[in-house]
Amino acid sequence: MKPENGDNVDEPRSTAFCINDVVTDDVLRTILSKLPAQSDKDACSLVCKRWLRVQSMERQRLCARAGIHMLERIALRFTHLVNLDFTQSTSRSFFPGVGDKDLLIVASNFPLLEKINLCLCKGVTDSGLEALGSGTSTLRSVDLTDCVRITDKGIEALAQGCSQLQVLRLSGCKLVTDKALESLGKFSKQLAELNIQRCIKVTDTGTSFLFQGCKSLNTLDLSMCTKIASLGLQRFSGLALALRNVNFCGCSKIENEAIKVLSGCASLEQVRLNGCRMVTDEGIIELLNCCGPMLKVLDLGWLNLSDQPIRLIFSLCPGLVILNLESCSRVTDHGFTATNINNLVLRELYMSKCPGITIAGVMKIVNSCTQLQSLDLRFCDQLDPNDVRSLLLPQGCHLLL
């Protein structure tokens, strides 16, 4: 627009600029790293190809599918991956998922890899684990849940090649035997968590090898390992003092002797003995006397216990958060009414199928456990649901009748 006197006036210049002209890759990488959620970072990668490239270079975790060519392209794009998740969906259990050829690509193209999840990847065999052992020495966590073709040979190769291994999950690997645990005890000195649930060929001999070598072990799941008894646990004392979480659910041969040895682990916080029918009052009392102050989770479902250890639980375990007494048929109201259970932090209590519990015992629990969030009283024959509902439950407590 010109003024009336006819003098020329310069048009205003545009001050717009492209952010890519002033922000370097390092600055952009720093900005993207400040975003709290991965979804936000993914959204930024849609701005342009440059932002996609920078964001891809910094991404550390990725869920992927099988496919050699796809993995090669992923390796080129995501150069800093430390966590690969190949978990196979249960709805696609008919599909083998990732196989040995895929793991060969992983072993040769992801030098920074620390964690890999191969849950339900039924195409993985010992050859794939040998590739991981020889090519990814940085691995710290491996999940092989329900990789049913894995044997001792593959576990030995993995343990020998990945000396920094800290977490190993072998649940459902039914071909694994004591020899695999011997390899772990020999090579995996930093192992902190081991899950061998449903590894039905593992015996006390294998656990002995494990406890001798893996002195940093703090989480151990032996549930449904039906050949585990007591002999292998004799070497527990002094060798597994770091143990905090144990699961022996379904180990029907576990006896009091094993529980007494287990009591030597003073740092125990979670103990699950559901279905260990040969464990009696004697073993539980020993456990409570030694580890009671530290216990937070205690599962005693289906044990043949009297009221005596129940009373000790409430006097010796001030920090207990979860207690399971399901199907403890000898437990009665006296386990609760004959002791002072005030000021507890108990949040979850499961007492389904306890025929000796009446409304008197429930009243004591409800009035004393003020932080209770879940109370299971299903199939308790002496309880009238209407009487229980009339009680003043802690605010927000979920009641199952």
388: helix, strand or coil: helix
* Domain carrying residue 41: 20-58
Q: What is the mean pLDDT of residues 294-312?
A: 96
**Does residue 95 lie within any of the structural domains?**
no
Q: What is the mean pLDDT of residues 164-180?
A: 97
Going by C-alpha positions, the residue among 133, 139, 90 that lies closest to residue 114 is: 139
165 touches 143 (CB < 8 A): no
What is the reported pLDDT for 79?
Answer: 83
246: helix, strand or coil: strand
388 touches 399 (CB < 8 A): yes
169 touches 143 (CB < 8 A): yes
**Does residue 322 lie within any of the structural domains?**
yes
**Does residue 238 lie within any of the structural domains?**
no
Q: Per the structure block, which two tokens stand in for 338?
A: 């004959």
DSSP H or E run through 195: strand 193-195
Going by C-alpha positions, the residue among 257, 247, 192 that lies closest to residue 224 is: 247
Phi, psi of 349 (to 5 degrees): -135, 120
pLDDT digits (tens, 9 = 90+) for 185-232: 999 999 999 999 999 999 999 998 998 899 899 999 999 999 998 756
Task: Say yes or no to pLDDT of 44 above 90.
Answer: no
Q: Per the structure block, which two tokens stand in for 401?
A: 């009748």
pTM of the entire structure? Answer: 0.86
Residue bearing the bigger pLDDT, 62 or 92: 62
Confidence of residue 22 (pLDDT cuts 50, 70, 90): confident
Q: Which residues pair with 61 in a beta bridge?
A: 83
- Residue 162 to residues 49, 147, 152, 166, 179: CA-CA distances in angstroms? 36, 19, 15, 9, 17
Interhelix angle 178-187/152-161, rounded to 10 degrees, is: 10
**Does residue 356 lie within any of the structural domains?**
yes
**Does residue 390 lie within any of the structural domains?**
yes
What is the reported pLDDT for 4?
Answer: 53
Task: Say yes or no to pLDDT of 241 above 90.
Answer: no
pLDDT digits (tens, 9 = 90+) for 111-155: 999 999 999 999 999 999 999 999 999 999 999 999 999 999 999
pLDDT digits (tens, 9 = 90+) for 91-111: 766 677 799 999 999 999 999
**Does residue 173 lie within any of the structural domains?**
no
The CATH number of residue 392's host domain is 3.80.10.10
**Does residue 46 lie within any of the structural domains?**
yes
320 touches 296 (CB < 8 A): yes
DSSP result, 288-316: HHHHGGG--EEE-TT----HHHHHHHHHH
Phi, psi of 127 (to 5 degrees): -60, -40
- Per the structure, how many domains does the chain have? 2
Task: Say yes or no to pLDDT of 240 above 90.
Answer: no
Q: Which segment of 84-93, 147-156, 240-249, 251-260 scores lowest on mean pLDDT?
A: 84-93
**Does residue 370 lie within any of the structural domains?**
yes
Query: Torsion over CA of 367, 369, 373 and 379, rounded to 10 degrees?
Result: -70
Q: What is the mean pLDDT of residues 32-48?
A: 79
Which of 11, 34, 58 corresponds to the end of one domain?
Answer: 58
146: helix, strand or coil: coil
